[in-house]
């Protein structure tokens, strides 16, 4: 079983342009993403899925510097980008990660992959996003290549192509879905990178934890934010963009 983690990344973010190349503690956001994922015991290959736009040449240079495979495809049709990246890597299982999650917990990812592997005959799609108990920025989706291929071939709505998994989690399509939940609800926290306020929060987390602990885990972040409520408040009113925006 070939498990491939595909990270979608582009320079053209509308709210915070070039966010994946912002530097935090001397490393780009994309480098932090990749270094965290390399700590996983369950990933066979990491692939950055970016666009054919000229501005994304910078992401390719970063991927080459970090010795990570990449795939370039359509900017708006992210589903096709995932499909061809997965096909090119001969993936059996795909982990979907977005590049705006530089605090992602690799142990959480491994726990979810283990659940998927143990139950692969029962579930097509394991996620911690549909019934949210984890903060934004800890989003993980795991699905079979078979499910991805069906979505690629049959999804025809714009938002289904832009966001990769809506076709899979639409109940009418009858995929078998497991929602992975935490025993405590931390969904009030926002630890994703989409605005200047988000960047301030993530920079503060890294400055508080990275030098002491290296690649810190979710529990470290929750403890830090509980002890520093003013930092958690910086981006608490930021609204997440809705599907199709």
pLDDT, tens digit, for every residue of 63-117?
A: 999 999 999 999 999 999 999 999 999 999 999 999 999 999 999 999 999 999 9
Query: In this structure, are residues 168 and 179 in contact, taking their beta carbons and an 8 Å threshold?
Result: no
Rounded to whole angstroms, the Cα distance separating 89 from 69 reads 9
Q: Which of 21-30, 57-66, 230-239 has the weakest average pLDDT?
A: 230-239
Which of 192, 191, 240, 179 has the alpha carbon at shortest distance from 220? Answer: 191
List Cβ neighbours of 14 (8 Å cut-off, separation of 6 or more): none
What is the tally of helices (H) and strands (E) in the chain? 10, 9
pLDDT at 49: 97
Q: Which residues contact 102 (CB under 8 A, 6 or more apart)?
A: 24, 29, 32, 33, 36, 137, 193, 202, 206
pTM above 0.75, yes or no: yes
Any idea of the CA torsion for 179, 181, 185, 190, to the nearest 10 degrees? -60
Residue 12 confidence (pLDDT): 85
Helix (H, G, I), strand (E, B) or coil at 88: helix
- pLDDT greater than 70 at residue 19: yes
- Contact assessment for residue 56 and residue 72, using Cβ atoms and an 8 Å cutoff: yes
Domains of the chain: 3-233 (3.90.550.10)
What the block records as the tokens of 104 is: 């992602």
122-158 pLDDT, tens per residue?
A: 999 999 999 999 999 999 999 999 999 999 999 999 9
245: confidence class by pLDDT, cuts 50, 70, 90: very low
What pLDDT is recorded for position 146? 97
- Residues of the chain with pLDDT > 70: what percent? 98
Q: Per the structure block, which two tokens stand in for 62?
A: 């970063």
Give the single-character DSSP code of 192: -
pLDDT greater than 90 at residue 204:
yes
């Amino acid at each position: 079983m070939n498990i491939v983690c595909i990270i979608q990344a582009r320079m053209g973010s509308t709210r915070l342009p070039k966010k994946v190349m912002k530097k935090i503690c001397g490393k780009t956001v994309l480098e932090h993403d990749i270094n965290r994922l390399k700590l996983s015991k369950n990933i066979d290959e990491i692939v950055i899925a970016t666009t054919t736009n000229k501005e994304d040449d910078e992401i390719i240079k970063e991927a080459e510097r970090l010795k990570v495979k990449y795939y370039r495809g359509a900017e708006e049709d992210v589903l096709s980008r995932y499909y061809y990246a997965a096909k090119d890597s001969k993936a059996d299982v795909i982990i979907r990660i977005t590049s705006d999650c530089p605090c992602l917990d690799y142990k959480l990812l491994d726990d979810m992959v283990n659940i998927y592997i143990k139950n692969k005959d029962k579930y097509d799609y394991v996620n911690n996003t549909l019934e949210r108990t984890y903060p934004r920025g800890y989003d993980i989706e795991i699905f079979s290549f078979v499910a991805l291929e069906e979505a690629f071939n049959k999804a025809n709505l714009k938002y289904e192509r832009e966001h990769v998994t809506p076709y899979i989690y639409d109940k009418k399509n009858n995929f078998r879905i497991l929602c992975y939940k935490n025993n405590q609800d931390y969904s009030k926290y926002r630890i994703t990178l989409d605005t200047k306020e988000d960047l301030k929060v993530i920079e503060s987390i890294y400055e508080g934890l990275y030098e002491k602990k290296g690649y810190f885990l979710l529990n470290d972040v929750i403890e830090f934010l509980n002890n520093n409520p003013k930092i958690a408040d910086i981006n608490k009113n930021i609204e997440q963009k809705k599907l199709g925006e």
